Structure 1
Amino acid sequence: MMKENEIISIIKKDKWMMEILQTAKTLHLPDWWICAGFVRSKIWDTVHKFNERTLIPDIDVIYYWPNNIDKLEEKKYEKILHSINPTIPWSVKNEARMHMNSSMPPYTSSIDAISKFPETATALGVKLDEYNNVILTAPCGIHDVVNLEVKPTPFFTENKERMQIYEERIRRKNWKSTWKELKITQNHNVY
């Protein structure tokens, strides 16, 4: 089973991922992370022994800045990133305002927001520290993602409406068509 230091190592060895992390770092955003599919897909590709990277629809850069929640700021940061690397589908979101989109209580930090993503296997983030070391956050742990298990986060299991969002995401994402070994929990069943 892959450990946290091994996840960090495979990211450090991936030139494309490191360039993306270095580009995002240039924004100097507070409490920033690149999260979700950027990390999850790398792990699943590695465990599946894929020779080529699975394409991901966007690169999710998140940050937490409660004193600056104007959505236009996010678009400004996306434009800056796009000007540095226009080949990347950048998506920038301030988690200090994202709770407003989903009728949830306000988040207290980016890691708090990540912990409330729909799936444990997606509740992951990476960034570079001041010395360019790769830092991994996994508020729901890495057990599920490295064991190819897709389950709702505890936050989503607390509420019927959130579970419906989780169930719909699982259907829409259709991850098993790409990563055949996944074990997906849906409607309280594993398939």
Structure 2
Amino acid sequence: MSAHLRHAGAAPEAQTHALEEITHASPRLMQVLRAVRDLDLPDWWIVSGAIYNTAWNQLTGRPDMYGVKDIDLFYFDPDTSYEAEDRVIHRVAQAVPGDPPVETRNQARVHLWYERHFGHAYPALGNSAEGIDRFACKTHAVGLRLEADDRLTLYAPYGLDDIFAFRLVPNLALPNRKTHEAKAARQRALWPELDFVRWPEETAFQQESIS
């Protein structure tokens, strides 16, 4: 087995421990986690690329934050006004300067703008985890939060094996085929070790239940 796949197929507990060690070894990711924790935002998570890209970089010997365009921060505030979200965006930008930048989004607002950007409707969410559930690629569906006692809390509704297997797997919860394919094309150019699982050809969209 190639060295970068050394955690593929391991027990979930072992993969969680490996991801925690990888996270602690990333200066930028830990800086962001600590700074956002101090802001005490409601229902917050650092999600997606900053996590799985960090894993791929460390497992393949690439530099920290290689290929990371931005660090996605989810939080959930029932105040769905643009002004309220904008205030949080500015707070985060002041608290966590540097590159890659932190991109902050209130998950309570996503349904208000999603169709305009992506061409199909998006359900109103009840919490930030429901946003993670609906990423176009199951491999990308991962979130981390740093607790007051420095413990990392992980949310990975589809597990971590796809991350450690360097495998991009579509999520059929929403009709996000174009997003899945576009993100995969960019990521495979940066991490050629990745395997790509295509969207099912027999249907453009198949609703999967999300518990």
Give TM-score scaled by structure 2 length: 0.78
Within 2, Cα distance between the matches of 1:155 and 1:33? 20
Deviation at 1:15, TM superposition (A): 2.6
Within 2, Cα distance between the matches of 1:164 and 1:122? 15
**Would you say 1:99 and 2:111 are equivalent positions?**
yes
**Would you say 1:10 and 2:22 are equivalent positions?**
yes
Q: 2:80: which partner in 1?
A: 69
Name the % identity. Answer: 23
Q: 1:164: which partner in 2?
A: 178
Q: 1:149: which partner in 2?
A: 167
Within 1, Cα distance between the matches of 2:198 and 2:29? 31
**Would you say 1:131 and 2:142 are equivalent positions?**
no
Within 2, Cα distance between the matches of 1:98 and 1:143? 28
Q: 2:38: which partner in 1?
A: 26
Contact 2:26-2:64 at 8 Å conserved across structures: no
Q: 2:91: which partner in 1?
A: 80
1:97–1:53 distance in 2 versus 1, CA, 3 Å:
closer
Deviations 1:112-168 (A, max 9, x none): 110101111111111111212111111121111110000112413xxxx43233234
Determine which of 43, 47, 51 is the counterpart of 2:55: 43
Deviation at 1:8, TM superposition (A): 0.9
Within 2, Cα distance between the matches of 1:151 and 1:93? 24
CA RMSD of aligned residues (A): 1.9
Within 2, Cα distance between the matches of 1:137 and 1:111? 8
Determine which of 26, 30, 54 is the counterpart of 2:66: 54
- Count residues in correspondence: 182
1:57–1:51 distance in 2 versus 1, CA, 3 Å:
closer
Deviations 1:92-129 (A, max 9, x none): 11111112323211122111110101111111111111
Within 2, Cα distance between the matches of 1:92 and 1:133? 22
Say which is worse superposed, 174-183 or 85-94, in terms of deviation. Answer: 85-94
Q: 1:175: which partner in 2?
A: 187
**Would you say 1:111 and 2:129 are equivalent positions?**
yes
Counterpart of 1:186 in 2: which secondary structure?
Answer: coil
Structure 2: gaps (5+ residues): 1-6, 9-14, 115-120, 202-211
Deviation at 1:25, TM superposition (A): 1.2
Counterpart of 1:136 in 2: which secondary structure?
Answer: strand
1:55–1:170 distance in 2 versus 1, CA, 3 Å:
closer
